[in-house]
Amino acid sequence: MRIIIVCLILAFAGYGCKKNEVVPNEDHSSKYQPLAIGHTWIYQVDSIYFHGDGSQKPDTFHFLQRNKIASSFTNEHGQLSYKVTRSVKKDSFSDWIFQRNYSLTKTDIDLLQTFEDETTIEFTLPFVLLKEWDCNQLNNRNSVDCYFEEIHTPMDIGTQNFDSTSIAYFEQEKNAVNSFFKRKTYAANVGLVLQYIEEINQINSDPRGTKYTLTLISFEK
C-alpha cells in the first residue's frame, strides 16, 4: 500500500529529518518499534475506576511508568529478543519501583510481546490499513480481533509532534453492555506513544471498570 505521509527531504547540508520522519516511497513499518539496549520510554499514566454505583465517585490514579530495554537474548525459537524492565513511580520526586519484566521480539512479519510465557502479537508487518490479525494466536486465550485503524499519519500529542503514526486497535468485546478494547498508537522511530484501554461493564446504566491512558513523555536512546 502506498505510503501517504512522506518526509520532506531538504536540499542543504546540515539539515535533516526529525527523529520520527521517514524516507518517502519506502515501506518503513518495521521502524515503528525501535529495539536496542538502553532505549527508554517514560509515560504518564492516568486511570479512572468506576464502581458501578452512580452515587459513588470514581477513583482516579496518576503515576509515571518507565520501560527500559535492559538486555538482549536469543529465545527458544532462535530469534533475537529484548528484555524490557518496567518500573513505576508516583511522581518525579519519587524513586522508581520495579514492576515487571517482559520481552519484545521483532520478526520479519510481526512484533511479539511475551510476559510470563504468554506471547501476544502486537502488530503485523507490513502495515496495511484495516489489515486484521488475532493477537492471541500464539497463546491459549480467546481470539481478539485486531486491525490497523490508521497508518502513516501525522499526530500531535500534547507538545510533541509526530510526522508518521499508526494505530492498532484490539477489540475483545464492544456492545451495549460491555466495552473491552485497546488502542495503541505507534510513531515511526519512536515506538509506542499513546495507549488507551477501556474495560467497562454497564450495570443498570452505571459503568463498572477501568479507563486507562498511557501517554509518552520522553524517549531516550
pLDDT tier at 173, thresholds 50, 70, 90: confident
Smallest CA-to-CA distance from 28 within 190, 217, 149 is with 190
From CA 67, how far away is CA 184, in angstroms rounded?
A: 15
Q: Could you list the residue range(s) of the whole structural domain that residue 90 is in?
A: 29-220
In a domain, 2, yes or no: no
pLDDT band, residue 27 (cuts 50/70/90): low
pLDDT in tens, 107-163: 999 999 999 999 999 999 999 999 999 999 999 999 999 999 999 999 999 999 999
Residue 14 located in a structural domain: no
pLDDT tens by residue, 57-113:
999 999 999 999 999 999 999 999 999 999 999 999 999 999 999 999 999 999 999
**186-195 pLDDT per residue, tens:** 999 999 999 9
Domain presence at residue 155: yes
Does any domain span residue 12?
A: no
- What is the C-alpha radius of gyration for the chain, rounded to an integer number of angstroms? 19
Asked if residue 4 is part of any domain, the answer here is no
Q: Is there a domain that residue 94 lies in?
A: yes
Pick from 116, 58, 56: nearest CA to 86: 116
Number of structural domains the chain divides into: 1
Task: Assess if residue 58 is contained within a domain.
Answer: yes
Q: Which of 26-35, 126-135, 175-184 has the highest mean pLDDT?
A: 126-135
Q: Does 174 score more than 90 pLDDT?
A: no
Question: Nearest Cα to 32, choosing from 207, 185, 198, 199?
Answer: 185
| CATH code, 42 | 2.40.360
Instruction: With respect to residue 24, please indicate whether it lies within any of the assigned structural domains.
Output: no
